[in-house]
Structure 1
Amino acid sequence: MVLLISGFCFWASLGSQLPTLPLYIGDLGATEQQLGVVMGAFALGLLGSRAWLGRIADQRSRKVVLQIGLVVAAIAPLLYLGVKTLPILFAVRAFHGVSLAAFTTAYTALVVDLSPREQRGELIGYMSLINPIGVMLGPTVGGLLQAWAGYLPLFLLASGLAIVGLLAASTIDEGLAQGEVQPQVSKKQKFWGLLQAPRLKIPATVMLLIGLTFGTLSTFVPLLIRETAVDLNAGLFYSVAAIASFVIRVLTGKASDRLGRGRFISMSLCCYGLAMILLWLAHTELTFLLAGIFQGCGSGTLIPMIAALMADRSEPHERARVLSLCISGFDVGIALAGPCLGTVATLVGIRPMFGLACGFAGVALLLFATSNSKDFSHSIAFALGNGRDIYALDSVVPNVAQ
């Protein structure tokens, strides 16, 4: 329960700034390209801190890394208040990215540590519900608070939520699920060297492409809504996406323990592609909200399923580093999306970028369907839910494979 409370506060803090921070940066005089660069700095902080945070979580303590994430999440909103120049804002945004790297690495590793193997997908799905709940309430409250009272109360709220989460995290006990043993950690194992392993290459590449897609979404949806001149608060888009993400997590986590992870990952990539097509074509409130639903279904399925997949493919002593490395692909995608697609927006406008983002999701689906296993036939079978994951290290396998 305290882990859930801590997670809710973290995601609500981060979510409250989703629809408002791009507007804040724009109000400081940033162009669309500069906006993309500053927003992309968040992922630079993520990427730059993943390796050492994963190592600390594996070799020392998941709890310490969780607390690092919440401390940074509490400090960063206060720093935004004092920033008036874009170079300093870039640095603060990168610092803020450390919070997400630390919290997601430690939180997911803790959930997996405490989950029985045969219920891993189910419990990851349930414990990840704090993400859509926090991101559902955070943007709505943040958007309304900013419109009503300005940026000062917004950033104070974001900082206060993280502090409450930090207090909850201080009471968390660490441990492993019954039947799991923590072996001796090999300090010679290189973080980036793990990426050469076949079990990680394709999931990390898929996360890179979806990171590019999500980076487009998080940076430019508020601006697209403003440009389209529809009567829709950007916070409502994120709230609808969060509701869809909540519902889909309840349904898919337990099912993946019985039916395998592959079919759900494939479905999530299709949902991302549909969301980007709808945003590319959106001119009404209904279309934006429908896109939010598909995006929520995509993210609500993909992130927990990838986490469960990587947990299946890793030992406890390397778990945090494996999870961190796979999610680093997502970080790189977000980092590239801001500056690269910001340049595209400057040249051709905001709307065409969502067509490009649809292409990223399509390539991710193609790669996963054809290359996630040792050969084409095994890859297709796993992606369609008709075969086992040959890289899974656990003795427990889905019923479909037995």
Structure 2
Amino acid sequence: MFLLFAVLPLFVVNELHGAKSQVGLIMGAFAISAVLTRPFSGRIVDLWSRKTGLRIGALIYWITPALYTFAATVPVMFALRFLHGIGIAIYTTAGSVYVADNAPAARRGEAMGYYGMAMNLSMAIGPALGVALIDHIGFHGLFWLASFLGLLSFVLVQFLHEPIRPHQQAEHPAGRPAIFSRIALFPGFIAMCMTMTFGTVVSFLPLFVQQHHLGNAGLFFVVYSIVVVVLRPISGRLSDRFGRATIIIPGMFFLAFSMLVLAYSVSMTGLLFAAVLQGIGFGAVHPSIMALVVDRSTMHDRGPALATVMMAFDIGVGFSAIGLGQVLEHTDFTTMYLCAAGIAMIGALAVTAVTFFQREEKSPALHS
């Protein structure tokens, strides 16, 4: 998935001759389908199994990039990205629940941090590698490589061992867990504010770098991912010890500051400084939010709870790609990134307000 992050916007503009707003639409299609699939992905992993969800997601990872080679128009690419988003929704929900099931309760934040490191390692390598390979193997060669990696993931999933869970009837007499989880709504709102900053980077940074002639956009993702990989386990342990809100609040302020720096960056130095700030913010907020939702759920409703908060992640990415893409179409990169900074500030102030007016141990949203 990350192998294509920095090249898909270029593919849409250079090969499909799409507009900047259409780049946002195609990148947002990925998130739209994930949003629509998340509630059912939670039900799949609860009623069937975590491993079944991983298999379905990996199968879609395998097939969809190969189909990208047949995309010759923006609508076709939109449809394929929509399909790809279904895979990401099912796979990541199943993976998160699988890890949460096997993590000791006292170390959930740390466990979610380590789990996230795997994704960030691929993000550190994938985008820069994709940009480096594009001149040698072209877009179609890159799509086939992504398809092969999806096949490899599908094969590896078969070797996972899933612990036997107590029967769902104990807590769900009808045998059908809820689609949405109320306890994940406020964490989901904060997650949406967080991923709206990430969505503007994923969707438009390659075009921003190209316009300003800053070089390889993949370097941003390398620096960003290294920071996140280093910080995730530390922030996870700190949230286990001091509470989730204590880590989330400064993390959201870092995300807002990163967008502010990016809005006025005109050099690679500024770009990489923004990457460091973005990495600090995301590395602090993401595992803390995930651990917070796991804290508030049981094994039997954990699938819908994590699916709800991850759906909020997708909404943030999709809304930033489509909504802020429209801002970019009618203004410029500076205005768009300033809007993203404002959204991160809203999230930071929301958590701060709840923490200030309610003691954390009594708050249904921020209890750790």
Shared fold (TM-score greater than 0.5)?
yes
Asked if 2 retains the 8 angstrom alpha-carbon contact of 1:125 and 1:253, the reply is yes
Residue 368 of structure 1 deviates from its aligned partner by 1.4
CA distance in 1, matches of 2:128, 2:13: 20
Deviation per CA, 1:375-394: give whole Å up to 9, x if none.
x532xx54xxxxx364499x
Out of 197, 209, 218, the position equivalent to 2:202 is 218
Aligned pairs (5 A) from 1:60-75:
60-75=48-63
Q: Equivalent of 1:119, from 102, 107, 110? A: 107
* Contact 1:181-1:316 at 8 Å conserved across structures: no
Q: Which runs of 5+ in 2 are unaligned?
A: none
Measured in 1, the distance between the counterparts of 2:150 and 2:279 equals: 24
Q: 1:253 aligns with which of 236, 243, 249?
A: 236
Give the C-alpha shift of residue 216 in structure 1: 1.1
AA matched with 1:117: A
- How many correspondences in the alignment? 365
The counterpart of 1:42, out of the listed 19, 27, 30, is 30
**Partner in structure 2 of residue 91 of structure 1:** 79
What is the match of residue 318 of structure 2? 335
1:18 partner amino acid: F
Equivalent-residue separation in structure 1 for 2:147 and 2:284 (angstroms):
29
Q: State the secondary structure of the residue aligned to 1:129.
A: helix
Q: Which amino acid aligns with 2:194?
A: I
Find out whether 1:370 has 2:353 as its counterpart: yes
Q: Which amino acid aligns with 2:208?
A: L
Q: Map residues 206-285 of structure 1 onto 2, 5 A cutoff.
A: 206-230=190-214, 232-285=215-268
Distance (whole Å) between structure 1 residues aligned to residue 9 and residue 272 of structure 2: 20
**1:63–1:106 contact (8 Å) kept in structure 2:** yes
* TM-score of the two chains, using structure 1 as the length reference: 0.86
Residue in 2 that maps onto 1:18:
5
How far apart are 1:335 and its partner, in Å? 1.8
Partner SS state of residue 316, structure 1: coil
Distance 2:202 2:244 in 1: 26
Structure 1 residue runs of 5 or longer lacking an equivalent are 1-13, 383-387
CA contact (8 A) 1:73 1:159 kept: yes
CA distance in 2, matches of 1:350, 1:32: 11
SS of aligned partner of 2:301: helix
Question: What SS does the aligned partner of 1:82 have?
Answer: coil
3-state SS of the aligned residue for 1:317? coil
Q: Tell me which of 89, 92, 96 is aligned to 1:108.
A: 96
1:290-341 CA deviation, whole Å, 9 max, x = no partner? 1111111222222211110000000110101101111211211222222222
Other structure's SS at 1:128 match: helix
Identify which of 11, 20, 37 aligns with 1:32.
20
The one-letter code sitting in structure 2 at the alignment partner of 1:286 is T
CA contact (8 A) 2:43 2:176 kept: no
SS at match of 2:4: coil
User: Percent identity over the alignment?
Assistant: 31
Distance in 2 separating the partners of 1:20 and 1:82: 16
Normalising by structure 2, report the TM-score.
Answer: 0.94
SS at match of 1:150: helix
Is the 2:263–2:333 Cα contact (8 Å) retained in structure 1? no
Q: Give structure 1 regions of 4+ aligned residues with deviation exceeding 6 angstroms.
A: none
Provide Cα deviations, 1:89-131, integer angstroms capped at 9, x if missing partner: 1110111111211111011101110011112112221222101
Counterpart-to-counterpart distance in 2, 1:264 and 1:188: 35
> Do the aligned partners of residues 84 and 256 (structure 1) sit closer, same or farther apart at CA in structure 2, a change above 3 Å counting?
same
Residue pair 1:310, 1:322 contacting (<8 A) in 2 also: yes
